[in-house]
Amino acid sequence: MNGPAPAALALRGLVKRFDTKIAVSGVDLDVPAGSFYGLLGPNGAGKTTSLSMAVGLLRPDAGSAWVLGHDVWASPVQAKQLLGVMPDGVRLFDRLNGAELLAYHGLLRGMDPAVVDQRARELLDVLALADAGRTLVVDYSAGMKKKIGLACALLHSPRLLVLDEPFEAVDPVSAALIRDILHRYVTNGGTVIFSSHVMEVVERLCSHVAILAGGTIKRVGTIDEVRAGRSLEDVFVEVVGGRTATGEELAWL
């Protein structure tokens, strides 16, 4: 291939409107291959909407998304082969147990059943889900659902992982486990982008960060570029704009 290697994920002019609400209003982003990318933003910033459009789960009103040079909407099969996704909320076939869910994912992707079986066992073991045995995913705790979602995203060994709030509702031990797995994945050449509200997680893990607020990217770059000698939290609060209680409110409380 000539020219520079394509970004692992490139977003151009993504727009999404829900009725009168403009959730995302022109998001451009380049996630370099091999980066660990944090997408920070307050509640309602448009993180889930942007990531859903980026991976082919939600059709944009305008704009486009490419995964390693493949247009997600024009060439979905090529793009999705390279992509592992952990969506927000529970979009899992949850009337299956963990092993069945992974088998189902693997077979949907056309993987060799023996490979699926071996990888599923390893993933359940590493993510400490093997003990859940025949428990249905619907009966998993919130943290266990995050972990089985991550296992589904990793099963086919994708080049790019897109994770919506992977650390939410996860206990510290499981969070450390997920961090280790993602760190190893990036060290071995993978690329991760994940959304979060948690500065420390992003500051600790990520090489790059984008701050999204009100449906647009407000800051973007390497962690050091965005921090510019300050804490990420200070930059975030400045960008997003804080609201402080004056003491007048909630006087009845």
Ligand X SMILES: Nc1ncnc2c1ncn2[C@@H]1O[C@H](COP(=O)(O)OP(=O)(O)OP(=O)(O)O)[C@@H](O)[C@H]1O
Q: Which residues lie near ligand X (CB under 6 A)?
A: 18, 21, 23, 41, 43-49
Q: Collapse the DSSP code of 86 into the 3-class scheme (helix H, G, I; strand E, B; otherwise coil) and give the result.
A: strand
Q: Which is nearer to ligand X, 43 or 188 (CB)?
A: 43
* DSSP category for residue 2: -
Q: Distance between alpha carbon 160 and the CA centroid of its chain, in Å?
A: 10
Token look-up 């009725």 returns 19
Q: For ligand X, which is the closer residue by CB, 48 or 174?
A: 48
Whole-number minimum distance, CB 88 to ligand X, in Å? 6
User: How far, CA to CA in Å, does 166 sit from each of 4, 178, 215?
Assistant: 31, 8, 21
CB of 213 to ligand X, least distance (A): 9
Query: From the CB of 22, what's the least distance to ligand X, in Å?
Result: 8
Q: Which is nearer to ligand X, 48 or 191 (CB)?
A: 48
* CB contact at 8 A, 67 and 9: yes
The two tokens of residue 145 are 């659902």
Minimal distance, residue 194 CB to ligand X, in Å? 12
Sign of CA dihedral 169, 218, 210, 151: positive
In the complex with ligand X, which residue's Cβ is closer, 45 or 68? 45
C-beta of 174: minimal distance to ligand X in Å?
20
Answer whether 156's CB lies under 8 Å from 144's CB: no
Q: Rounded to the nearest 5 degrees, what angle is found at the Cα of 89, between the Cα atoms of 86 and 90?
A: 85
Residue pair 39/51 in contact by the 8 Å Cβ criterion: yes
What's the min distance (Å) between Cβ of 143 and ligand X?
Answer: 17
140-143 CB contacts, 8 Å cutoff, 24+ apart:
140/94, 140/98, 141/169, 142/168, 142/169, 143/169, 143/170, 143/171, 143/174
**Least distance to ligand X, CB of residue 47, Å:** 3
Tokens coding 4: 């520079």
| Closest to ligand X by CB, 39 or 175 | 39
Nearer to ligand X, 27 or 132 (CB): 27
If the CB atoms of residues 47 and 80 are measured against ligand X, the closer one turns out to be: 47
